[in-house]
Amino acid sequence: MEKVEEVNIQKDRMLPIDDAKEKGSKRIKSIDRFRGFCVFCMLIFQFLKNFPSLGILARLADHSTSTGIVIAPGMTLADIIAPAFIFAIGLTFTLSFTKWQRLYGTKNAIIHYLERALSIVGLGTFLDLCNKVLDSMDGYTLNAFDYTVLAFSIVAIIGLILRLLALIPAWKSKLAVPAEHIFYGALSCMGIMNIIITTIDFFAIQNDFGAFRYNYWVTLQGIGFAILVAFPFVKSKWWVKLIGASVILVAYSVFHQIGDNKAWLDVIVHGGTIGGFGWGAMLIFDMMIADVYFMKKRELALSLSAIFCALGLFLTQWLGVINLGSCSPTFILVGVGLSGVIFFIFDYLDKYITWKFEVLVWWGKNPIIMFLVEFFVIGVYATVMPASALSGASWWLAGVQGIVAITLLTAFAYLLARKKKSISL
């Protein structure tokens, strides 16, 4: 009997977590819209920055304080998008885990979410490998670790193919469980390896400033690692989250301010694994505000967000500017606060606006799929197109390409939403 139940659980895990959340619960559309807003900005801004002739639109994705749109000391408008996406995760993390725990049990829920976080790191590892393979065409020499990641990537792709074949009813019973283990196992192994070698990279940089051994860390890795840091607090009370995040923030702040640590952290994207503890503290604070929000204390949650933002701005005079690169303590506080304020704008608008054209909900339904589509389709497009069509394009040509990209991606997001197709790690 136990074996049958275990097989059923494994089959159910093939369902997206969003589907599980929707069964028997009412979705809060403001959260969906806010997540869609974050995904839209993350992807489209990255495309528009290829066209300098678009002026302020191209500057939207610029993280440089000299050329980007500065909104606070050391912080540009583009810097808030990643913290906002982390905030969107924090809004539903506890609810999602609790739902999964109720459906499949505590052990299965813990395994699933740890595996999910490692898989996000692993997916980022795979995308980094793709970039390195492209760089190898211009002279980069793949090293032993690159080939190791390539081997695990092939295994993950095999697992993905098997998962797709498992959608065929006649093959589902035979392929679903092994496909699940192969796919998540390969991605999780890549995630663990990435965490290890990025930690090695940090100490290598200390010995030889700017010299990477491996250089595998971008946004997805930071998100996955933040989930790992925050996971122990997923079921704790709001005040435990507040205390836990504060302790992590203080410890990280001390490390950040000692010697040249802030400079070393700024070399690896988002501070690497060390900076990941700062992102983890950010996510725990977000989860705490979400707890207060779901206690029907929206005004208190909004006030807490404003306090975080004001505190971060106030502390810049002692802790330095708000720096995304090193995940500075002030960036953590402002990132939490400003993201919360933006979300509550969406939430309050629900009181006064009847939404008929849910474009942001479409975008927010499949962040992983949209991220991959943007990376491969638009990434390849930006790579193969001549400079005259991108950086050298006139404003009208750049505008046409931007409109086409937004239209096609929105149509794809709408198609997935209409067909109720949703995939999450």
SS3 sequence of the chain: CHHHHHHHHHHHCCCCHHHHHHCCCCCCHHHHHHHHHHHHHHHHHHHHCCCHHHCHHHHCCCCCCCCCCEEECCEEHHHHHHHHHHHHHHHHHHHHHHHHHHHHCHHHHHHHHHHHHHHHHHHHHHHHHHHHHHHHCCCCCCCHHHHHHHHHHHHHHHHHHHHHHCCCHHHHHHHHHHHHHHHHHHHHHHHHHHHHHHHHHHHHHHHCCCCCCCCCCCHHHHHHHHHHHHHHHCCCCHHHHHHHHHHHHHHHHHHHHCCCHHHHHCCCHHHHHHHHHHHHHHHHHHHHHHHHHHCCCHHHHHHHHHHHHHHHHHHHHHHCCCCCCCCCHHHHHHHHHHHHHHHHHHHHHHHHCCCCCCHHHHHHHCHHHHHHHHHHHHHHHHHHCCHHHCCCCCHHHHHHHHHHHHHHHHHHHHHHHHCCCCCCC
Residue predicted with more confidence, 25 or 345: 345
Q: Name, in order, each residue with C-beta under 8 angstroms of 180's C-beta and a sequence gap of 6 or more.
A: 10, 13, 14, 159, 163
Decide if pLDDT at 208 tops 80. Answer: no
pLDDT band at 304 (very low <50, low <70, confident <90, very high): very high
Lowest mean pLDDT segment, chosen from 98-107, 136-145, 180-189: 136-145
Decide if pLDDT at 84 tops 90. Answer: yes
Decide if pLDDT at 242 tops 80. Answer: yes
pLDDT attached to residue 210: 63
The mean pLDDT of 46-67, rounded to a whole number, is 89
Decide if pLDDT at 42 tops 90. Answer: no
The mean pLDDT of 311-322, rounded to a whole number, is 96
Q: Is residue 16 part of a domain?
A: no
Decide if pLDDT at 15 tops 60. Answer: no
Residue predicted with more confidence, 424 or 166: 166
- Tens of pLDDT, residue by residue over 114-169, are 999 999 999 999 999 988 998 888 888 999 999 999 999 999 999 999 988 988 88
pLDDT band at 318 (very low <50, low <70, confident <90, very high): very high
| Total of domains in the chain | 1
The mean pLDDT of 262-283, rounded to a whole number, is 94
Query: Token pair of 404, please?
Result: 């086409």
User: What is the C-alpha to C-alpha distance for residues 288 and 228, in angstroms, rounded to an integer?
Assistant: 16
The mean pLDDT of 51-57, rounded to a whole number, is 90
Q: Is the pTM of this model over 0.75?
A: yes
Share of the chain above pLDDT 90, in %: 61
pLDDT band at 1 (very low <50, low <70, confident <90, very high): very low
Q: Name, in order, each residue with C-beta under 8 angstroms of 201's C-beta and a sequence gap of 6 or more.
A: 212, 213, 214, 215, 216, 217, 268, 272
Q: Is residue 290 part of a domain?
A: yes
Residue predicted with more confidence, 371 or 413: 413
pLDDT band at 265 (very low <50, low <70, confident <90, very high): very high
Share of the chain above pLDDT 70, in %: 91
pLDDT band at 209 (very low <50, low <70, confident <90, very high): low
pLDDT band at 65 (very low <50, low <70, confident <90, very high): very high
pLDDT attached to residue 391: 86
| Structural domain containing residue 103 | 23-418
What mean pLDDT, rounded, does the chain reach?
88
pLDDT band at 186 (very low <50, low <70, confident <90, very high): very high
Residue predicted with more confidence, 193 or 356: 193
pLDDT attached to residue 424: 60
Q: Is residue 10 part of a domain?
A: no
pLDDT attached to residue 367: 83
Residue predicted with more confidence, 418 or 283: 283
- Tens of pLDDT, residue by residue over 365-411, are 888 788 878 777 777 787 788 888 888 999 999 999 999 989 999 99
Decide if pLDDT at 27 tops 80. Answer: no
